[in-house]
């Protein structure tokens, strides 16, 4: 293979690149043929030349990235030649002069199709929409054609996350947020547990490194303390299994750092209160799988007392992504709860590599265990593809990703897998397609329930149909499956589109009164003025006469428009803020930015900005509860912002406390140390409690932290929360 020296690439760097390529080749599956190996050589040569002279932020030659992705694909996901070639070439169409027809000519339609699915949307995409959302919409459409696309994409994202610390902080936030919100859940849905865990941990390491290292240190310390206890726990199990002639191996599984972080955060527990952060995994050979697994279960539960409430049987009814395992939590001799996972080598491979385990080295078709994933993906793709608005499509994708599963039964005893929180209507559509929309009621465990009744794991259901029953649009709020959502949307589509056209015309007529062009950029501003995310929803509301006094609303909106900017928009001039320049918040430039209401950042907090349709930058706190959602949608419109000589800002606090004689006096002793604007206290519904709002004028976040610390120390204070209003009565 002859390759010219890369421009600007030192001999040492060049040697490292070729050494890495040799490692890739040495790790390829023995089943890869000479012809496929030759094609991999050609792909590397093509990628090396295409990325000539380009370097990563880490100062490594850019070719290192495709090589890393190819290694993840080959060694960690154990995929074959087509995926390795696609990984090597995944960036060439987007970043170089090579085109898809060049790739198809050299490597065939499969590789070209995968590379095309991995290539982002055109760079001239309209700036005022969400580029991220459109990319995900395109990606999901392509996955249905070839699921290997998402496997290479996840490998690409994993390598980018491994090198994320080389990027500017503002890019780290955007990429980490996308990873947490979309890519890690996709990996979970595909059963790629190892890859999902690493993505989540890299996310946490990026956004909260202090907490990450704190938990990692506690895990290491605790593992050392528990090492001998685990050995003693396993010994009698191993002895009995050998006695019964079982072939097996035992290993331990540590709960991921992110999983522990999430449990501490969501359940408000301390690290030492998490008893299942270490599990014992027993992996059997593949002979008589179910019999051997249950035999092992019997051995474990005969030796130790089991917590039957924590038993999970995914062998009898596997998860939709093919996951099979038997989990049981037992009490050890030293009275510690230990989770034991029982599975075979085949089950373990699927648990680790999920969908990737179904694509063998020759890229054969997936086996029957793929049916659940294919079904979910097909429904999600139909729903997303039918959605014109990319943000709405992304909302559907998120709903489809963030769901746990449950098993219910039809009247004949057939298992139906549904997401948790699914309703009778979901079940009806799942079983009867469009006819299920006419569900009148159902018998759930022989009890009569309405269509919106939420099902529980193990329910037995029989649906009664009445063709005269027609669903209302509110039904969309009561379904949890992509299929039910798609069928409902199709049912409402014609009526909705008529209302959208009516609303669009009414709004255009209103704009015409003010001689303002009815063009996307200005319509986007109007959408944001109303606080909506999707313009079709605005038209729909107008068409249904749900926008009260449209004349007055448009009049108020017109007063917010800058005439000079309007002329630039109508001429098509690009007057975006210079995104390479940091916008200083607090300068005499209040018309350039708006502090977001969702988090109300205070001077001193880490912040980021998003350029809105009207060119105003919306400023969010890095700790905003909606941060991941905002950055995954509008990351392409992100701008660097910093505090500059800020003036005093008003901050509100919600307080709830036990009422006693000295409470007010004790609170006032603290309040007099700060610039208090107002204090409003009322009795709660509980006789011995008061609640209210405190308004302070502060200069920075340090004052807020100090105030909260002192106020929480006051006897009787039960709750103190920033930016929370007194509940409406």
By annotation, the residues acting in catalysis are: 94-95
Tokens representing residue 344 in the block: 């075979």
Question: How buried is residue 291: exposed, middle or buried, by Cβ count under 10 Å (0-12/13-18/19+)?
Answer: exposed
Instruction: Please tell me the distance from the alpha carbon of residue 617 to that of residue 352, in angstroms, as a whole number.
Output: 43
Beta pairing class for 583-585 and 593-595: unpaired
Between CA 337 and CA 280 the distance in angstroms is 11
* Helix, coil or strand: residue 712: helix
Using DSSP, state whether 716 is helix, strand or coil.
coil
3-state SS, one letter per residue, for 471-514? CCHHHHHHCCCHHHHHHHHHHHHHHHHHHHHHHHHHHHHHHHHC
Identify which of 99, 96, 93 has the alpha carbon closest to the alpha carbon of residue 118: 93
Neighbours of 427 (CB within 10 A): 27
How far apart are the C-alpha atoms of 103 and 304, rounded to whole Å? 59
Rounded Cα gap, residues 601 and 608, in angstroms: 10
Whether the CB-CB separation of 331 and 309 falls below 8 Å is answered with no
Alpha-carbon distance 615 to 638, whole Å? 12
Name the packing angle between helices 131-143 and 109-118 (round to 10°). 150
Integer Cα distance of 574 and 400 in angstroms: 37
Cα 274 versus chain centre, distance: 24
- How far apart CA 48 and CA 61 sit, in angstroms, is 9
Strand 593-595's sheet: what is its strand order? 593-595, 617-621, 607-611, 638-639
Phi/psi for 113 (5° steps) reads -65, -40
Of 657, 722, 716, residue with least CA distance to 691: 657
The helix (H) or strand (E) run that includes residue 289 is helix 289-303
Strand (E) or helix (H) holding 584:
strand 583-585
Any idea which residue has 């320049």 for tokens?
581
Instruction: Please count the CA atoms within 13 angstroms of the CA of 374 that sit on its side-chain side.
Output: 10
């Amino acid at each position: 293979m002859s390759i010219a020296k890369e421009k600007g690439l030192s001999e040492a760097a060049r040697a490292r690149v070729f050494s890495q390529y040799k490692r890739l080749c040495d790790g390829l599956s023995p089943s890869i043929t000479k012809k496929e190996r030759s094609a991999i050589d050609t792909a590397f040569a093509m990628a090396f030349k295409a990325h000539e002279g380009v370097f990563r932020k880490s100062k490594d030659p850019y070719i290192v990235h495709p090589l890393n992705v190819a290694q993840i694909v080959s060694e960690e996901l154990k995929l074959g030649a087509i995926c390795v070639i696609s990984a090597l070439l995944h960036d060439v169409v987007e970043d170089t002069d090579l085109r898809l027809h060049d790739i198809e000519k050299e490597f065939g339609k499969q590789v070209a199709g995968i590379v095309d699915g991995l290539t982002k949307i055109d760079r001239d995409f309209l700036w005022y929409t969400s580029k991220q959302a459109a990319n995900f919409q395109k990606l999901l459409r392509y996955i249905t054609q070839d699921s290997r696309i998402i496997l290479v994409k996840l490998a690409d994202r994993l390598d980018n996350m491994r090198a994320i610390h080389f990027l500017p902080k503002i890019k780290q936030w955007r990429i980490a947020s996308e990873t947490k919100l979309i890519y890690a859940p996709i990996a979970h849905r595909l059963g790629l547990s190892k890859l999902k865990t690493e993505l989540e941990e890299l996310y946490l390491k990026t956004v909260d490194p202090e907490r990450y290292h704190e938990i990692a240190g506690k895990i290491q310390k605790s593992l050392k303390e528990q090492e001998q206890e685990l050995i003693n726990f396993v010994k009698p199990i191993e002895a009995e299994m050998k006695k019964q002639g079982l072939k097996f191996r035992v290993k331990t599984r540590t709960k991921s750092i992110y999983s522990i972080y999430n449990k501490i955060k969501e359940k408000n527990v301390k690290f030492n209160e998490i008893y299942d952060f270490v599990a014992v995994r027993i992996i059997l050979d593949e002979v008589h799988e179910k019999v051997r697994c249950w035999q092992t279960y019997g051995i474990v539960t005969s030796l130790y007392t089991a917590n039957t409430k924590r038993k999970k049987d995914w062998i009898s009814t596997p998860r939709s992504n093919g996951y099979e395992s038997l989990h049981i939590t037992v009490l050890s001799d030293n009275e510690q709860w230990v989770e034991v996972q029982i599975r075979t080598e085949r089950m373990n491979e699927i648990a680790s590599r999920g969908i990737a385990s179904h694509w063998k080295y020759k890229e054969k078709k997936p086996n029957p265990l793929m049916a659940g994933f294919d079904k979910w993906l097909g429904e999600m793709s139909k729903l997303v593809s039918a959605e014109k608005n990319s943000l709405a499509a992304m909302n559907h994708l998120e709903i489809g990703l963030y769901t746990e599963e449950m098993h219910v039964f039809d009247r004949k005893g057939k298992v139906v897998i549904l997401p948790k929180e699914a309703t009778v209507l979901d079940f009806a559509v799942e079983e009867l397609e469009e006819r299920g929309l006419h569900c009148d009621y159902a018998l759930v465990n022989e009890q009569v329930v309405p269509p919106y009744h939420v099902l529980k794991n193990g329910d037995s259901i029989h649906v009664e149909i009445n063709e005269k029953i027609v669903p209302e649009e509110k039904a969309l709020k009561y379904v949890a499956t992509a299929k039910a959502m798609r069928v409902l949307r199709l049912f409402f589509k014609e009526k909705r589109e008529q209302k959208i056209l009516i609303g669009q015309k009414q709004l255009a007529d209103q704009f015409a009164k003010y001689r303002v062009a009815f063009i996307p950029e200005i319509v986007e501003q109007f959408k944001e003025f109303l606080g909506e995310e999707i313009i079709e929803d605005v038209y729909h509301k107008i068409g249904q006469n749900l926008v009260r006094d449209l004349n007055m609303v448009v009049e108020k909106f017109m007063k917010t428009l800058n005439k000079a900017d309007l002329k630039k928009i109508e001429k098509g001039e690009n007057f975006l803020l210079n995104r390479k320049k940091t916008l200083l918040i607090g300068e005499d430039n209040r018309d350039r930015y708006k502090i977001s209401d969702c988090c109300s950042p205070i001077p001193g907090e880490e912040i980021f900005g998003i350029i809105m349709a009207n060119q105003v930058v919306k400023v969010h706190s890095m700790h905003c509860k909606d941060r991941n959602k905002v950055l995954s949608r509008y990351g392409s419109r992100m701008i660097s912002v910093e505090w500059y000589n800020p003036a005093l800002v008003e901050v509100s606090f919600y307080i709830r406390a036990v009422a006693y004689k000295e409470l007010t006096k004790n609170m006032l002793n603290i309040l007099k140390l700060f610039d208090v604007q107002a204090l409003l206290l009322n009795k709660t519904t509980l006789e011995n409690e008061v609640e209210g709002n405190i308004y302070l004028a502060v200069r920075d976040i340090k004052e807020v932290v100090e105030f909260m610390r002192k106020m929480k120390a006051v006897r009787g204070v039960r709750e103190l929360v920033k930016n929370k209003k007194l509940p409406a009565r």
